[in-house]
Structure 1
Amino acid sequence: MSNTPRSVFDRQLRLIAANELEALVSQYHDDALLLRGDRPIYGRDALREHFAALLASAPAIEVTSAVEAQDLLSYQATVTVGEEEPARQYGVLVLRGEQIDRHVTGAFPVLSGGGRKGGTITVDLEPYTAWTSRAVPDPRNAGREAIGPVLLEIVDAEGPILAERAYRLYVKASGGKALTSIARAPLSGATFRLTNAGAIEMEEGSEVLRPAGTPEVRVRELGPRALDEVPLREVAELMRRLRAAGATELPRAVLDAYGLVRMTAKAEDFLAQAQIVAEEA
């Protein structure tokens, strides 16, 4: 059976835990590139040196999220070395055949329960649980009996979730390229029926879906979401917690908390809206 990005990643974690240097290096192509946050590492000889140093530190790695698609896997994890504070890390693996061709990794700010580390204000975030994509029927002709259970599955996994994101996840899983108006109509209809049946709830005044009886807001890691896919009230609550921890430049503090760097015009507009909500609450 061919390796998948997830099977390679899982083996990577087992080999690190077992201190298996050569087996770990053999996961990579001879000309593989590992791009760290501070430098590039080319080829197996350099990789061997890198991983020898890593294994010597005996890291404890806890994966908080991992999402794969085709030959790619994106992950987030906390890494603890000795008595040091756990560090948040992210990474992307790219396979070529059954071995790793490219590996990008870097560090987020350290979680500290709201303290100040190196001038950065940080707060604890819940891990984000992403829906595990699978083949689903085309929403344009599937019928309500087929669409409803899948949509409920997505909301159960990722709620509170923007309806737009839930619909896009469904369409992508069905093999579609874009969320068209033709595909949106049956998905919106399924949402309406699930809401009427009491299976899910929709936040008043917005299209944020969550399983019935669950909290309206959960402050979580960014996970596989784009910034504008995070419910506005979730970002606003994160801002309130960051402000309570001592942050003053809230938009920048949010980007730091999510491990993002670039403040685009789109991000600035979105975070300005969230700050208004945070100030009004």
Structure 2
Amino acid sequence: MSPSIPEAIFERHLRLIAARDVEALASQYHDDALLLRGDRAIRGRDALREHFGTWLASGPSLEVASAHAADDVLSYQATVTVADEPVREYGVLFARGERIARHVTGMFPVASGEGRRRSGVHVDLEPYSAWTPHAVPDPRNAGRETIGPVLLEIVSAEGPILAERAYRLYIKASGGKALTSIARAPLSGSTFRLRNAGAIDFEEGSEVLRPAGTPEVRVRELGPRALDEVPLREVAELMRRLRAAGATELPRAVLDAYGLVRMTAKAEDFLAQAEQVSLTDL
């Protein structure tokens, strides 16, 4: 089951906090959104941008204890730590469409011994470099001389990247909504031509594209990807590193590392596959 809209919003919210991305964090809110805190009300995206800029500059870390969603509402409990001082945050997000219309939070002191990381397990992740979308021609009628350079841009920015994600990024930038078989054919053909030209690498039967001569696996932040858009071997290598650092419940440790909250059935299946791969040699 896919996450609900408020769950997806919240998971991205956590990733953007970890990435210290003020602009993207503010853009999660509607222009007329209200953030109601215990000490003040902050209304409108410009005021929110200023608030988040100041808050993120303090270097906060956030650990979610629980999150529950129904309809367009999500409630959560988390521990927010700034300068080694944890406080308990209780919050409610009200979604309107795919953005936040209202966000209510309350902060309370944490009792001694609470609010620290449960496992203390941490591994460093490379920052994720996302492709910057721009207008591109419809792949169904664009020539190979146009499609190839754009695909190379995407792979160079985000590789190793699942071919499916690369194609969907292209389709979305072209104004399309779905990756149809008609659109896939010229994109796939351009991918093979790029490999034959020595610009990108991928093994026969592999769904993962990367710039020529670059590592097959890079362990990175989740970035704008959904969990199932992360190459399986990348997750497997993350699991190896988490295991070496002392983690025992690897699927949950991966979610924590990525700033995700909800263990869906789909995520559970995907992470079980990755755990099997992590037990074999790359």
TM tier, smaller: 0.5 to 0.7
Q: Contact (CA 8 Å) 2:128, 2:223: kept in 1 or not?
A: yes
Instruction: Output the CA distance in 1 between the equivalents of 2:150 and 2:278.
Output: 33
Judge conservation of contact 2:22–2:52 (CA < 8 Å) in 1: no
Q: Does 1:33 align with 2:30?
A: no
Q: Quote how far apart the aligned CAs of 1:240 are.
A: 0.1
Instruction: Provide the C-alpha distance between the structure 2 equivalents of 1:185 and 1:53, rounded to a whole number of angstroms.
Output: 43
**What is the CA–CA distance in structure 2 between the aligned matches of 1:177 and 1:171, rounded to whole Å?**
7
The equivalent of 1:222 in structure 2 is 222
1:33–1:41 contact (8 Å) kept in structure 2: no
Question: Relative to structure 1, is the Cα distance of residues 40 and 158 closer, same or farther in structure 2, using a 3 angstrom cutoff?
Answer: farther
Cα separation, partners in 2 of 1:104 and 1:237, compared to 1, 3 Å? farther
Provide the rounded CA distance (Å) in 2 between the counterparts of 1:248 and 1:266.
21
Quick one: which amino acid aligns to residue 59 of structure 1?
A: S
**Which of the pair has the greater relative contact order for Cα pairs under 8 Å at 6+ separation?**
2
Equivalent position of 1:160 in the other structure:
160
1:195 is matched with 195
What is the one-letter code of the residue matched to 1:206?
Answer: S
Amino acid corresponding to residue 272 of structure 2 in structure 1: A
Map of 1:64 onto structure 2: none
Q: Read off the aligned partner of 1:280 and give its amino acid letter.
A: T
Instruction: Please report how far the alpha carbon of residue 280 of structure 1 lies from its aligned counterpart in structure 2 after TM superposition.
Output: 1.3
1:203–1:216 Cα contact (<8 Å) kept: no
What letter is aligned with 2:263?
A: M
CA distance in 2 between counterparts of 1:153 and 1:122 reads 32
Q: Provide the C-alpha distance between the structure 1 equivalents of 2:215 and 2:51, rounded to a whole number of angstroms.
A: 45
Pair 1:122–1:160, CA change in 2 (3 A): same
| DSSP 3-state at the match of 1:209 | strand
Q: Which residue of 2 aligns with 1:137?
A: 137
Superposed displacement of residue 104, structure 1: 9.6
- 1:1-22 CA distances to partner (integer Å, 9 max, x unpaired)? xxxxxxxxxxx969xxxxxxxx
Shift of 1:165: 0.3
Shift of 1:205: 4.0
Partners of 1:40 and 1:177 lie apart in 2 by: 43
Please tell me whether residue 254 in structure 1 is matched to residue 226 in structure 2. no
Counterpart of 1:117 in 2: which secondary structure? coil
Deviations 1:58-94 (A, max 9, x none): 6269xxxxxxxxxxxxxxxxx996688xxxxxxx9x9
Deviations 1:260-279 (A, max 9, x none): 11111111111111111101
Change in Cα spacing, 1:104 to 1:176, as seen in structure 2 (3 Å) is farther
Counterpart CA distance in 1 for 2:229 and 2:148 is 22
Letter in 2 for 1:208: V
Deviation at 1:34?
2.5
Q: Given the two structures, how large is their TM-score scaled by the length of structure 2?
A: 0.65
Residue aligning to 1:233: 233
Alignment of 1:82-93 (within 5 A): none
The answer for the alignment partner of 2:118 in structure 1 is 118
Aligned counterparts of 1:213 and 1:180: Cα–Cα separation in 2: 31
One-letter code of the match for 1:127? P
- Structure 1, unaligned runs of 5 or more: 1-11, 15-23, 62-78, 85-91, 95-99, 106-115
Cα 1:81–1:280 shift into 2, 3 Å: same
Indicate the residue corresponding to 1:213 in structure 2.
213
Distance 2:202 2:176 in 1: 25
> Is residue 137–residue 174 contact of structure 2 (8 Å, CA) maintained in 1?
yes
Whole-Å separation in 2 of the counterparts to 1:192 and 1:54: 44
| C-alpha RMSD of matched pairs (Å) | 4.0
Q: Cα–Cα, structure 1 residues 102 and 166, in superposed 2: closer, same or farther, change >3 Å?
A: farther
Distance in 1, Cα, partners of 2:174 & 2:104: 29
TM-score, normalised to structure 1, is 0.65
Partner of 1:169: 169
Match status 1:186 vs 2:169? no
Contact residue 58 and residue 81 of structure 1 kept, 8 A = no
What letter is aligned with 2:178? A
Q: Deviations over 1:249-269 (max 9, x none)?
A: 111111111111111111111
1:59 maps onto 2:41 in alignment: no
- TM-superposed CA distance for 1:150, in Å, is 0.2
CA drift of 1:40 comes to 11
Separation in 1, partners of 2:208, 2:36: 37
